[in-house]
Structure 1
Amino acid sequence: MTPGRRSSTFSRLLRHGFTDPSAAERLLDLPAMSAVRGDPVLLDALGATADPDLALRSLVRIAEAHEEGERRRFLDTLVTAKPLRDRLLGVLGASEALGDHLARHPHDWQALYTYESTDLHPGVAEFERGLADADDAVALRVSYRRCLLAIAARDVCGTTDVAQAAAELADLATATLRAALAIARAAAPEDAALCRLAVIAMGKCGGHELNYVSDVDVIFVGEPVGGADEAKALQAATRLASHLMRICSETTVEGTIWPVDANLRPEGRNGPLVRTLSSHLAYYQRWAKTWEFQALLKARAVAGDLTLGEEYIQAVSPLVWQAAERENFVPDVQKMRRRVVDNIPAAEIERELKLGPGGLRDVEFAVQLLQLVHGRSDAGLRSGTTLDALQALASGGYVGRADAAQLDDAYRFLRAMEHRIQLYRLRRTHLVPDQEADLRRLGRSLGLRTDPVPAVNREWRRHASVVRRLHEKIFYRPLLDAVAQLGPGEARLSAKAAGQRLEALGYADPVTALRHLEALSSGVSRKAAIQRTLLPVLLGWFADSADPDAGLLGFRKVSDALGQTPWYLRLLRDEGAAAENLARVLSAGRLAPDLLLRAPEAVAILGDPGGLTPRGREHLEQEVLAAVGRADTAEAAVAAARGVRRRELFRTAAADLIGSYGTEDSPAEADPGALVDRTGTAVTDLTAATIAGALRAAVRAEWGDTLPTRFAVIGMGRFGGGELGYGSDADVLFVHEPREGVGEQEAARAANTVVAEMRRLLQLPTADPPLLIDADLRPEGKSGPLVRTLPSYEAYYRRWSLVWESQALLRARPMAGDRDLADRFIALVDPLRYPERGLGEDAEREIRRLKARMESERLPRGADPTLHAKLGRGGLSDVEWTVQLLQMRHAWSVPELRTTGTRQALAAARDAGLIDADDAAVLDEAWVLATRVRAGVMLVRGRAGDTFPSDGRELAAVGRYLGYGPGHVGDMLDDYRRVTRRARAVVEEVFYGG
C-alpha cells in the first residue's frame, strides 16, 4: 500500500470508529482480504458495528478459513447483500465467541443469508428443524450455535427487540432440551420404554425470557409406563434426566451449551432428581417454602411427555395462587429479596446488573409479588413473563401506568445490557465491565455512539435509579400485606361475597353498604379496577371502627368528589399508609370527613410522609396573608383564609385520630399528653393565623395597607394558653394606639370599625366549624368598650381591676397585629397577673369563692358532675384554677411559672417543689384526659360538647378514640371517674386547703 493511500485509509478507519487503525490496515492488506480491501461499503458496514476492530479480526479469520474459491464467493456475497452484511458484521462486532464459532465452521454464515419472513421470529418448531441432524452432544452444540447465531443477528440489527430475543432464546432452549432428551433416549431405549418423563422449565426459560448464557432451570416429573414397577421406572427416568443434563452441560471440543440446573426441585440437591406427580404434590402441600411457590409461577412444560407436563402444571397452579394466603407471605418474599442483596460480594455490588439494588431482580421480584397477591382473584395476571405480567398489572390498575411504563423501559434497557455483555464471549455474567474498551463496545452496541463510555454509565445509572425507586414504592407497599391477609374469595369482591363479608364484619346496613360497593367498583374502567383492589382491604379497616357504615359512606363521597382526579386512587394504592389513614379518618366520626368533603384535595395530606405534621404559626400566617392579599374583596379574603383553615383543621384532626388509633405503619402514640399538646398548639396557631388574615382583610377594605392606629389582638383563655380545641371560641382582648398625627377619636373610630368588620367577616355563614371571637374578658365585660388604648387599660387595671381579671390575664399572649404594641400590653399586665409577694388572704378567699360559685351555678341542669369534662369533679376547671392559684402565689419568685400553658405551669410548680410530684401527675393525667374527651366528642359528633355522648354508637367511637376497644365503654367511664376523683382529691387539698 502506498504512503498516500495508507494515510487516506488510516484516516477513514479512524473516522469509522477503529481504535487501532494501524492493525486494521495490516489486516486489510492480508491476501485473504484482497477482493474487498478498499471497498467503501465494507468499511462503512464495519464502522457501524459495536467494535469495528473485533468485527474485522473475526471477518479475516472466517475468510482465511475458506478455500480460495469459496472465499471469493463469500466476500462477494458479503459486499453485495446488505442483509447478510449487516447481520454478519453486526454479530462479529458484538460477539467474539460467535466469531470463533464461524472461524471453526465457516459455512455457517449461510444461516444469516436468507431473510425469509418465517425466519424473523422463529418458534420451537423452526428451532427443532435446525437441530434435527444433531445425533450426539458435539453435533448438538454446533447446531445450537448456528441457531444462536441467527438469534444474535436479529437482535443486534434490531429486527427483534430484547423481549422477542429473550423469547427466541427460551424457544431454542426448549428445542435443545427436546433434542438432548431424544439423544438420551436413543442411547438407552430400554429406559425410555419403562417411563414417562416430563421436563418442566423454570426461571427465565419457563418465563420465555432467557438470557444468551444462563443456567436452564428444570424440574423432572416421571411416571411408570403401563404396569412397570414405579421404583424401576423412576430409576430409568433418573438415568435419562441425568444423561440429558450431561449432554447440555458438559464441555466438549465445541464448548458447552449451558448448565441444566435441577436445584429448584423439592428438597433441592438433596432430593431425588425425578419424582412422580403425586410425590411433587405431597411435598408442595406439606413442606414447600414461600420461595418455591414464587419459583413455580414460571413453570412451563417444555420437553418429554407434554401431557404429563401439563398435568403437573394444572396440579401445582392452584397451590401457586394460594401461596399469598400463607402466614407472613409478603414479609417472607421481601426478606428473601433483601437476603439476595446482602449476599452480593461488596466488591461487586456496584457493578451487579442482575441482583444488585436497582437491578433486574428488583423489577422481577416486585412484579412477582404483585402477581402472587392479586393473581389469586385475577387470572389475567398469571403470566410467567415479566413484561407481559407488568403490562397486565398496569391494565388492571394494580400498578400506575406511568410507573409501569418506566419499569418496562428500564427493564428492557437493563436486559439489553445483560444480553450484550453475555454475547461478547458467551459467558454467564451479570457484572457491568469496568474496562474502557468493554464499556465502549457495550455502549455502541446499545446505540450510544457519542461518547459511549460515559453515555452507557449514565443511562445505566439512570435506569437503575428508576428501578430502585419504584421497587421500594411497589415491593414494600403496605397495602400488599393487607391484601395478602384476606381470606380466599375476599380479595376481589363479587356481589355475593361482598354481602357475606359485610355481614361478617358487622356493618349495620349491609344492603346500603353493598350499593356503595357496586357504585364504586362496577364497570370495566381502570378506576373501577383499582377500587376493586382497594375495597376488600378498606372494608376491614372500616370495620375496625365504631361506625363502619359511616366510613364506607364517607369513602364513597370522597371518591365521587375526586373520581376524575388521576392522582387520588393512585395515592391510595401506592403511597405508604394513605389508604389505611383515610379509612381510619373516615370511620372515626363526623368532623374530619366533613372537613375533607369540603376540601377533598386535602386527602393528599394522608400520603405525604410529612403530611400529618402541623404547620407552624409563622408558615400559616404567611400563607393566609398571601391568600388575603390576592383577594378582591374582604369577603373573598376571609373565604381564602377559611380555605387554609379548613385544610389545616383536617390535617390536625387526621393527625390526632391516626396518632390515637395508629395504623400498620404508625402505631398509636404512647403519650396522650403529647397528642393533646400537638393538637392544642396546632389549632391555636391556625386560629391566630386566621384572625391575622381577618384583620388584614378588614384593614384593606377601608384603609388599604395602613390603619390610622396601631392594633393588636391579645389571646386569652385557652387561646392564649395554646390549648384550643376543635370547637373552642377564641377569647381575646383588643388594644390600639393612635399613630403619630392621628387624633384619639379618629383612631378609636378606626379601631372599633376594624373590630366590628373582623367579627362580621368571621361570622359569615359557613359549613366549617365556627370561629367565634369572644371579647367578654375585657375590662367591664360586655358593658365595656371592645377596644381600648394602652393608657385606658392601665387606668382601668390600676383603679378597678378585680382578682378574677388578674387571674384571666395569666393566659394573655400576643396573637395578631402590631407585635411591639402587644408586647407593651403584656409588660403592662405582668404586675397584675404575677403580683409581687403573691396573693393576699383576701384575694385567695375571693378566688375560692368564685370557683365554688361557678361549680354550683354553671354546671348544666341534669349534668352528671362526675362526667362533665369542663366543670365536673376533677375536670378542666378544677385543674386549671388550682394551677393558676399556684402561679399567682409564686410566679413573682419563680420565673418558670410565667407561662400561659396549664401543663407547663404545672410542671414548673412541681419542679419548684410547690406541689408534690405524685399530685402533679394526678392533675396532669386528669387534665389531659378531660381535654381528650372534649376533642373526641367534637371529632365524633362534629359539634362541641363537654360530656360523653348518650348515643351508644357515638359513645363507642369516643371510646375508640381514647383507646378502648369494642365492649369496653363501661371501662372507659369507670376509668374517667377514677382519674377525675383522684384529681378532685388533690384539688381539695391544694386549692381549697384541705
Structure 2
Amino acid sequence: MVAAVRAGASGGLVSRPESARRRGDRLSRYGFADVARAAALLGPDGLGWWDAGAGGPTDDGAAALVRTVGSTADPDLALHQVHRLVAVAPEVPAALRADPGLAARLLAVLGASEALGDHLVGAPTHWAQLASDTDPDTFRGAEALRAELSPAGGGTAAVEELRLAYRGVLLRIAAADLTGARTVDEVMAELAALADGTLAAALRISEAEAPGELPRLAVVAMGKCGGRELNYVSDVDVLFVAEPVGDGDTDAALRAATAIAVRLIDVCRQVAWQVDAGLRPEGRDGPLVRTVASYRAYYTRWAKGWEFQALLKARPVTGDAALAEEWLDCVRPLVWQATDAAQRPKMVAEVRAMRRRVEDQLSAADVEREIKLGRGGLRDIEFAVQLLQLVHGRSDPELREPNTLAALAALTAGGYVGRADGEELAGSYRFLRTVEHRLQLQHLRRTHRIPDDEAGLRWLAHALGYRAEGDRTVVQAFLRDWSRLARNVRRLHEKLLYRPLLEAVAKVPTEALRLTSGAAESRLAALGFEDPAGALRHIGALTGGVSRTAAIQRTLLPALLPEFADAPEPDHGLLAYRRVSEKLGRTPWYLRLLRDSGPVAIRLARLLGTSRYVTDLLARDPEALRLLADDAELVPREPAALTEAMSAAVRRHDRPDDAVGALRALRRRELFRIACADLLGRLDVVAVGRALSDVTDAVLAAALRVARAAVDAPADLRFTVIGMGRLGGAEMSYGSDADVLFVHSGGDDAQSRAHAVAEKLRALLSAPAPDPPLPIDAGLRPEGRQGPLVRSLAAYRSYYARWSRVWESQALLRARYVAGDAALGDEFLAVADPVRYPAKGLDTAQVREILRIKARVDAERLPRGADPATHTKLGRGGLADVEWTVQLLQLRYAGATPTLRTTRTLDALDAAVGAGLLTAADAMELSAAWRLAGSVRNAMMLVRGRPSDQLPRHGVELAGVVRALRFDGEDPGEFVDEYLRTARRARHVVADRMEAEVP
C-alpha cells in the first residue's frame, strides 16, 4: 500500500486528464492541500473511500468519513496518520464506518496532533478507547483516574505501564477537547487531574523502590497545576514537605524524602513532563525537601514578593494529607500578612517589577507573538487577577481562589472588577488558553508562540475552528480576532490596576469599582508609593476637571503609573511628571505628542522614574522631550555635526556670556540625548564615553573662540587644548571634569595673553548658570597646580626633557588634541611621544615607582568610609586598577610596539593581547570589570543627579542603579554579588600582572 501511495503521489500533474483536475478541485474543496496524495490515499489502493472514475466518495459512509477528515485541523495529516494506523490496526476502517462518534474523535486527534498519531501507531489498541461505547466524552473523575494510573510495585515495568496509561488518558482528553465535548475550563481541570494522578502514581513507584522506613512526605502542587488550569505540555510545579514518623530522626527523614522526591521527578520525566521544584525557598540552590518549620522560618524572614504570589496557587496533591494541611495552615496566613501595606509596603511593587522584567527580556518579535508572556497575553490577565487578589484578599477571603477564572469571577462578584470587564477578561483567557492548547497538541511540545509563517497560521486557524468568511481568509479572520483581543487585554490590564486610582480623584463614571480616597491611598501604598496621599494629590491635579488637558491625562496615566510604580522611588517619578506637565501642559504639541506617539509617554515615565539627572535636564529644557519621539534622535550626533552646530550657536551672539549661554544650552540638549539613549538601552559604556567626549570637544572648540574674542587675543596667537585623562581617552562619564593642558607657541610676550585665554575659557564654562557647568581641570600640567596654567611648546619640551617624572609620562598616555590650533596640537604630541612611549621602556626603579604610587593611591585617596570592594574608581578591581595595569604595559612596551600607542583603555587591552603581553582570558576579565565599573559610575550619576563612585549595597539608590543598568536579576543584591565577582577576578589579574612586570 505504501508503494502504491508513493506512486500515486509522485504522478505528474501536467499530463493529468481534465477529469483528474476536476477530481482534484473537488478534493481541494474538502480541504486537502496535496490533492494527488489525497487521491492516492483515499483511492482503491488506499482506504477505498474515493472512486476515481466517479470523481467522488464511493458511498454515503465514505462521503461522511471524507467530510470528517476535511473538517480536521490538517486534513492531509489526518489522512496520512489514518494510513499509518491502518497498517498496524487493519480493523480501524470498519470501526470508523460503524461508529461516527469514534470517527469524529479519532480523526480530529489525527488531524491535530502528530505526536498522538505516533502514540497510536506505537500503541495500536489505544484507538479503541475513543469508541462511543467506552463513553470517552464523560470525565471519569479524579479518583477513577488515579485508579487507572496505578501500576503495581516499582521498577522499569511500572514506569512504562504508567507512561502508556498516561497517554491513553491524554488521548481521551484531547479527543473530547477537539470535538467540543469539553469546555476549555474542563480540559484544564482534567489535565490537572491527570497530572495529580501521575504524581500520585510516581510517588507510589518511588516509595515502592525506597529502602527502609518511609518518612512522612507530602507533594504540593503550585502554578497552573495548583490552580487546576494546566495545559497539555508544561512543567508541573511542586513543593515537597517532609517530617519524620513519630519522634524519628529529622535529618534521616529528610534524606530519605529527598531520595524519593528525586526518583519521583525522574519517573514523571520518563512518563510525560518535567517536575519543577524551582518555586521552593531559595530556588534551585535550596534543599529539595523541607520540614514545615523550615518553610515557616524562610517565609517569615526571607521570602520575596513573588514567592507569596506563587503561594496563592498552592494545593495538596498526593502523599501525607495531614502533613500537607499542616503546611497549608502554616503558610496561608503568611501570604496575607505579607501583602499588608504596613508590614511589607512594596510587596506588590516587587511583584510588578518581576512581571516587567519578564516582558522586557522578550525580543520585539516575541512581545508581539507570545500569547503567554507578550503584551495582551495570558500573563497580563493572570497578573492583574493575582495583584487584585493580593491587594484585596487580606480583607475579603472570597478572593483567595487558586484558579484564575474562579478568582476573576470572585473579583467580579465582589465589585472589584466591573461585570463587563470581568466577562471580557474571562473570554479572552479562555480563547488564549485554547490557542495554547492547539499549539501544544501538534507536537506535544511546550510552546506559546503564534507561528510567523502562513502555513502555520493556517493550520492554527483551522485547528481553532476558523473558516473563510467571504473575501477574508481563515488566517485573516484569526489574526483579526487575536490582535483585537490582545489590545483589549492590555487595556483592561492597565485599567484594572490603575484607572480606579484616577476615578477616586476625577470621579469619572465607569462600570469598574470607584475607589474611595482611603482605598486609593491603600492601593498606591501597596504599589510602593511612600506618600500615597501626596501621589493622589498629584493625580488629582493632573486629571481633575473637565478640560481637554485633564481628559488626555486621564487617558495617559493608566499607562504611565505602572512605570512610576516600577521605579525605586515612585513618588519622585510622578512628581517630576506633574512638574513637566504643568510647565508644558498649555503647549499645543506636548499632550498631543504623549497621546499620539506611543513610545514617548512610556519612555518619559521610565526616564523620570529612574533618573534625577534626566529630570533636572528636562526641567531646564522641556522641549527636549521631542527627542523621545524619534529613534533617530536617540543616537549621538557625529563630531563634525556637533562642532558645526556649536560654532554656529556662538556666532549668533556678540556678548561672550550670551554666546557661552547658548553653547551650554546646546550641551545640555546633547547630554539629555545621550542620557536618554543610555537609559533606554541604546548605548553601552564605551559609546557613552565617546559621545560625552565628542560633546566636550565641540564645546571646548566653540568656547575657545569666544574666550579668544573676549580677551582680544591676537589672531597670530597659536593656542591649543590637549585633552588628558578621561577626555583624552574619549572615556568620559557624566560627572567627569575636562582634564586638559593648555599650550601656546609664542615667547614671553605671548604667555600673558595665552594665560588670559585659558582663564577666560575656564571661567565661561564653569560660571554659575541654569545649565550644567563644564569644569576645566588643568591639574595634570607640569608641576601640577603649582606650575603655570599655560606653557609654550618650548617650555613643555624643556620640562619633559629635564624634569619629567614617571607619573607624568603615565598621564601623557591619554594626551590627544582637542581644540584650537591643530598643527600646534600635533607638534605637542610629537614632543609627548618619546616621553610616554620611551624607546627602552622603564627601568626597575621606574616600575617600582609606579607601583609605589599606585599603593599610595589605594591607601590614601580612597574616601573615608568608602567600601573598597565596591568603589568603582579606586576600589579593588575598579577603574584605576584596570587602567594602571594597562598603562604600565604601555609605558614598558609601547616604545617597541606601536599598536599599544592609543589613548583608549580597551583598545590598549586588545593591543596587549595581540602583542602577547596579556592572555585573552585575562584581558576579558579586565575589560568586563572596566565596563561594569564605568557603567555603575554612570548609573549612579543618572540616578542620583550628582556624581558618586560608590556602589551602594542596598536601598533605593542600589535599586535605581540596577534599573538604570537593566539588570536581569530579581533581587538588587544579586547585582552587587555580580559586581563583586567581576571585580575580584579583575583584581587577581591586576595583582598577577603588576608582579610579573617588576624586572
TM-score, normalised on structure 2? 0.51
> What amino acid is the match of 1:679?
V
1:692 aligns with 2:695: no
Evaluate the alpha carbon distance shift between residue 504 and residue 369 of structure 1 in structure 2; reply closer, same or farther with a 3 A threshold: farther
Equivalences for 1:235-274 in 2 at 5 Å?
A: none
1:635 aligns with 2:635: no
Which one of 657, 668, 675 corresponds to residue 679 of structure 2? 657
> What amino acid is the match of 2:743?
V
The answer to whether the 8 A contact 1:937-1:949 is kept is no
1:530 aligns with 2:552: yes
Q: Deviations over 1:103-149 (max 9, x none)?
A: xxxxxxxxxxxxxxxxxxxxxxxxxxxxxxxxxxxxxxxxxxxxxxx
Evaluate the alpha carbon distance shift between residue 326 and residue 488 of structure 1 in structure 2; reply closer, same or farther with a 3 A threshold: farther
3-state SS of paired residue (1:788): strand
1:521 aligns with 2:543: yes
Q: Aligned equivalents of 1:328 and 1:548: distance in 2?
A: 35
Between 941-950 and 643-652, the greater mean CA deviation after superposition = 941-950
Q: Deviations over 1:321-369 (max 9, x none)?
A: 658965998xx9x9999989x99xxxxxxxxxx999xxxx99x989x98
Q: Aligned equivalents of 1:730 and 1:888: distance in 2?
A: 23
Q: State the match for 2:136 in structure 1.
A: none
1:727 aligns with 2:735: yes
Which one of 572, 583, 602 corresponds to residue 605 of structure 2? 583
Aligned length: 549
Q: Aligned equivalents of 2:628 and 2:427: distance in 1?
A: 27
Which one of 564, 567, 570 corresponds to residue 542 of structure 1? 564
Between 488-497 and 916-925, the greater mean CA deviation after superposition = 488-497
Identity %: 50
3-state SS of paired residue (2:817): strand
Evaluate the alpha carbon distance shift between residue 324 and residue 788 of structure 1 in structure 2; reply closer, same or farther with a 3 A threshold: farther
Q: Deviations over 1:8-50 (max 9, x none)?
A: xxxxxxxxxxxxxxxxxxxxxxxxxxxxxxxxxxxxxxxxxxx
CA drift of 1:559 comes to 0.8
Equivalences for 1:343-742 in 2 at 5 Å?
A: 482-488=490-496, 490-491=498-499, 493-495=502-504, 496-497=514-515, 498-499=520-521, 501-659=523-681, 675-703=684-712, 707-738=715-746
3-state SS of paired residue (2:819): strand
Q: Aligned equivalents of 1:871 and 1:317: distance in 2?
A: 60
CA drift of 1:487 comes to 5.0
Evaluate the alpha carbon distance shift between residue 521 and residue 826 of structure 1 in structure 2; reply closer, same or farther with a 3 A threshold: same
> What amino acid is the match of 1:694?
A
Q: State the match for 2:914 in structure 1.
A: 911
1:858 aligns with 2:858: no
Q: State the match for 2:843 in structure 1.
A: 840
Q: Aligned equivalents of 1:324 and 1:336: distance in 2?
A: 22
> What amino acid is the match of 2:702?
G
Evaluate the alpha carbon distance shift between residue 945 and residue 490 of structure 1 in structure 2; reply closer, same or farther with a 3 A threshold: closer
Q: State the match for 2:889 in structure 1.
A: 886
Equivalences for 1:212-251 in 2 at 5 Å?
A: none
CA drift of 1:798 comes to 1.0
Q: Aligned equivalents of 1:559 and 1:488: distance in 2?
A: 24
Evaluate the alpha carbon distance shift between residue 489 and residue 857 of structure 1 in structure 2; reply closer, same or farther with a 3 A threshold: closer
Q: Aligned equivalents of 2:856 and 2:581: distance in 1?
A: 52
Q: Aligned equivalents of 1:962 and 1:789: distance in 2?
A: 44
Evaluate the alpha carbon distance shift between residue 838 and residue 824 of structure 1 in structure 2; reply closer, same or farther with a 3 A threshold: same
CA drift of 1:917 comes to 1.4
The answer to whether the 8 A contact 2:767-2:773 is kept is no
The answer to whether the 8 A contact 2:873-2:949 is kept is yes
Q: Aligned equivalents of 2:647 and 2:613: distance in 1?
A: 26
> What amino acid is the match of 2:871?
H
Q: Aligned equivalents of 1:960 and 1:721: distance in 2?
A: 28
> What amino acid is the match of 2:631?
P
The answer to whether the 8 A contact 2:720-2:744 is kept is yes
3-state SS of paired residue (1:900): coil
CA drift of 1:769 comes to 3.5
3-state SS of paired residue (1:577): helix
Q: Aligned equivalents of 1:324 and 1:759: distance in 2?
A: 67
Q: Aligned equivalents of 1:745 and 1:887: distance in 2?
A: 35
Q: Aligned equivalents of 1:905 and 1:576: distance in 2?
A: 43
3-state SS of paired residue (2:791): strand
Q: Aligned equivalents of 1:327 and 1:509: distance in 2?
A: 39
CA drift of 1:550 comes to 0.9
Evaluate the alpha carbon distance shift between residue 488 and residue 905 of structure 1 in structure 2; reply closer, same or farther with a 3 A threshold: same
CA drift of 1:854 comes to 1.5
> What amino acid is the match of 1:869?
T
CA drift of 1:318 comes to 6.9
Q: Aligned equivalents of 1:643 and 1:490: distance in 2?
A: 37
Q: Deviations over 1:801-841 (max 9, x none)?
A: 11111110000011111111111211221111111132222
CA drift of 1:572 comes to 2.0
The answer to whether the 8 A contact 2:719-2:742 is kept is yes
Q: Aligned equivalents of 1:481 and 1:692: distance in 2?
A: 54
3-state SS of paired residue (2:494): coil
1:988 aligns with 2:996: no
CA drift of 1:649 comes to 0.8
CA drift of 1:602 comes to 0.8
CA drift of 1:685 comes to 1.0
The answer to whether the 8 A contact 2:781-2:787 is kept is yes
> What amino acid is the match of 1:888?
L
> What amino acid is the match of 1:587?
G
Between 713-722 and 618-627, the greater mean CA deviation after superposition = 618-627
Evaluate the alpha carbon distance shift between residue 792 and residue 513 of structure 1 in structure 2; reply closer, same or farther with a 3 A threshold: same
Evaluate the alpha carbon distance shift between residue 529 and residue 894 of structure 1 in structure 2; reply closer, same or farther with a 3 A threshold: same
Evaluate the alpha carbon distance shift between residue 974 and residue 571 of structure 1 in structure 2; reply closer, same or farther with a 3 A threshold: same
Q: Aligned equivalents of 2:772 and 2:427: distance in 1?
A: 45
Unaligned 5+ segments in structure 2 are 1-178, 181-228, 230-370, 377-417, 436-448, 459-469, 505-513
TM-score, normalised on structure 1? 0.51
Q: Aligned equivalents of 1:500 and 1:337: distance in 2?
A: 44
The answer to whether the 8 A contact 1:337-1:365 is kept is no
> What amino acid is the match of 1:730?
A
Evaluate the alpha carbon distance shift between residue 795 and residue 481 of structure 1 in structure 2; reply closer, same or farther with a 3 A threshold: farther
1:932 aligns with 2:940: no
Q: Deviations over 1:453-473 (max 9, x none)?
A: xxxxxxxxxxxxxxxxxxxxx
Q: Aligned equivalents of 1:921 and 1:761: distance in 2?
A: 42
Evaluate the alpha carbon distance shift between residue 866 and residue 837 of structure 1 in structure 2; reply closer, same or farther with a 3 A threshold: same
Q: Aligned equivalents of 2:903 and 2:754: distance in 1?
A: 26
Which one of 802, 806, 831 corresponds to residue 803 of structure 1? 806
Which one of 853, 875, 880 corresponds to residue 877 of structure 1? 880
> What amino acid is the match of 1:753?
A
CA drift of 1:977 comes to 2.3
The answer to whether the 8 A contact 2:812-2:832 is kept is yes
CA drift of 1:319 comes to 8.2
Q: State the match for 1:750 in structure 2.
A: 753
CA drift of 1:653 comes to 1.1
Which one of 968, 986, 990 corresponds to residue 971 of structure 2? 968
The answer to whether the 8 A contact 1:520-1:556 is kept is yes
Which one of 793, 796, 816 corresponds to residue 793 of structure 1? 796
CA drift of 1:494 comes to 0.5
Q: Deviations over 1:214-241 (max 9, x none)?
A: xxxxxxxxxxxxxxxxxxxxxxxxxxxx
The answer to whether the 8 A contact 2:428-2:489 is kept is no
Which one of 784, 788, 794 corresponds to residue 787 of structure 2? 784
Q: State the match for 1:827 in structure 2.
A: 830
Q: Aligned equivalents of 1:560 and 1:325: distance in 2?
A: 38
The answer to whether the 8 A contact 2:495-2:558 is kept is no
